[in-house]
Amino acid sequence: MSRAKAIILASIAAIVLCAAVLTIFVLTPIDDRHYGRIVTWASKHFAGLQVTMEGPFLVALSSEPFITASKIRIRDISNESFKDPDLGSQLYIATD
């Protein structure tokens, strides 16, 4: 392998490593309250829904991640005649 290829490969590996470390440092300090704000913002901007979570919002990141939220209200901000659905007292989402 030529010296130029080795330098390019090492540079790419360093960039990927820095990106992974930066991602870890950015996501680590985010607590459950911040995740709730992200969900609220994303649902408003991407789906046109106003999501209000008055109860606890829990995110567990692991090999089997899950989200638990309670006292959720969803309102379609583009349609004023839309009534809030009754989601019960708790919503549990898990991946398989």
pLDDT, one tens digit for every residue, the chain (96 residues): 688 898 999 999 999 999 988 887 776 667 777 778 888 888 888 888 888 888 788 877 777 777 788 888 888 777 665 555 555 555 556 655
Going by the DSSP 8-state scheme, the letter that residue 16 receives in this structure is H
- The tokens for 8 are 């390019």
C-alpha pair distances (Å), 77 with each of 2, 8, 45, 64, 74? 60, 50, 11, 33, 9
3-state secondary structure of 96: coil
- State whether 16 and 58 are in the same domain: no
Task: Give residue 19's domain range.
Answer: 1-30
Q: Read off the amino acid at residue 48.
A: G
**Total tally of structural domains belonging to the chain:** 2
- State whether 24 and 59 are in the same domain: no
Query: HSE of 93 in the Cβ direction (CA atoms, 13 Å)?
Result: 8
Rounded CA-CA distance 67/5 in Å is 45
- State whether 40 and 24 are in the same domain: no
- State whether 14 and 40 are in the same domain: no
- State whether 90 and 45 are in the same domain: yes
